[in-house]
Structure 1
């Protein structure tokens, strides 16, 4: 019976993702974004609860991935399309599909690499990517030109990239001080310019930090060879 609790949290993740999609259909974009962020909270709890109750299972892991694809791959893609990508015609449709597809690839790679990739995430985790898109929509800003489509493309690519993102469990990928400082400065600047970006900033900062930390890691490698 104890396994019901984490699985229920995982299912709640999917329910919230569906609520986000339905809200998007009703042009309630802010509400849809809130549902996606709430789904991330539910997703973060299920694994911790399962480990605490000692009821982790392969079934739960597979269910988690399926729910994540809906809540952080499909729901943000539909939200992004309805919010602004639809204005770009077939290209906007392809970008939305690209985001969802990269999310699926990210989850599939994560599932098969669980025994070989430890201490860090290879590629931006799909909840973070989905929440970047969702929280940007929450700002209500519709930038001119191709800024938004490019943002969606970049974060879709980050999911399938080989950039190493720390899991903050005290081991694995080294956290370098210079990337931390740069990330804090950028995050502070975003908050200074747009005070409504309280939710957007941490997700964007995490994505940026992974890139910077990986780049500076290349310099570490060169100095030791």
Structure 2
């Protein structure tokens, strides 16, 4: 029974990986919005994987490496292929090279995490955040990626990913304060929708500089 409980986080990791694979399949079928949604869904399963590992106080070496591999597919490969394929492939060498830089940085970030990690902080911007941010921008502000200078967005994410800037892990604890915050966020979302989520992405991105 114990073994079954401890493998539960890995099931969520495999589901995260499946989201990445299905996202790539959607790109092949030119269903770009579905591809972006699957990347965001992968974020949910990645969060659940981490949450269960924390609640069960059980993180195996196998689980850590599996998580890194799943994240590489869902938040490394899938976003790059999505942006490249979704009618933006006509851009020049610099734009395409920035996507390559992003992928290399995410790969490095995940390898570093699998070898060494802190229980309280992430060293560098998490790959889950970077991939999810790209998918969110694609869904809600698609014209952003039509700008010639938008390649700087990928360069920025790449730099923050391989940096030593500390980012706190988001841990949801069972208490009334967390539930109150969740309720407030739901209300704000109903009013402001995508702008609220955009602000949350930006705030977390900037939070690493506060911790330096």
Identify the TM-score tier after normalising by the shorter chain: 0.7 to 0.9
Number of equivalent positions: 191
Query: Partner residue of 2:125?
Result: 124
- Output the CA distance in 2 between the equivalents of 1:142 and 1:6: 37
Contact 1:69 1:104 in 2 (8 A): yes
Pick from 82, 106, 110 the counterpart of residue 85 of structure 2: 82
Query: Partner residue of 1:142?
Result: 143
Query: Partner residue of 1:156?
Result: 158
Query: Partner residue of 2:199?
Result: 201
Contact 2:23 2:38 in 1 (8 A): yes
Determine which structure has the larger helix proportion and give its number.
2
Show structure 1 runs of 5+ residues with no match: 171-187, 218-225
Does the C-alpha gap of structure 1 residues 15 and 202 become closer, same or farther in structure 2, counting only changes over 3 Å?
Answer: same
Shift of 1:195: 5.0
Tell me the TM-score normalised to structure 1 length.
0.75
Tell me the TM-score normalised to structure 2 length.
0.79
Contact 2:94 2:151 in 1 (8 A): no
Counterparts of 1:30-179 in structure 2, within 5 Å, are: 30-53=33-56, 55-83=58-86, 85-114=88-117, 117-143=118-144, 145-168=147-170
Does the C-alpha gap of structure 1 residues 197 and 26 become closer, same or farther in structure 2, counting only changes over 3 Å?
Answer: farther
Q: Does residue 15 of the first structure (1) align with residue 18 of the second (2)?
A: yes
Show structure 2 runs of 5+ residues with no match: 173-187
RMSD: 2.5
Does the C-alpha gap of structure 1 residues 118 and 52 become closer, same or farther in structure 2, counting only changes over 3 Å?
Answer: closer
Cα displacement string for residues 152-182 of structure 1 (whole angstroms, at most 9, x for unaligned residues): 2211211011212122569xxxxxxxxxxxx
Secondary structure of 1:165's aligned partner: strand
Q: Which runs of 4+ in 1 moved over 6 A?
A: none
- Output the CA distance in 1 between the equivalents of 2:57 and 2:16: 20
Contact 1:119 1:169 in 2 (8 A): no
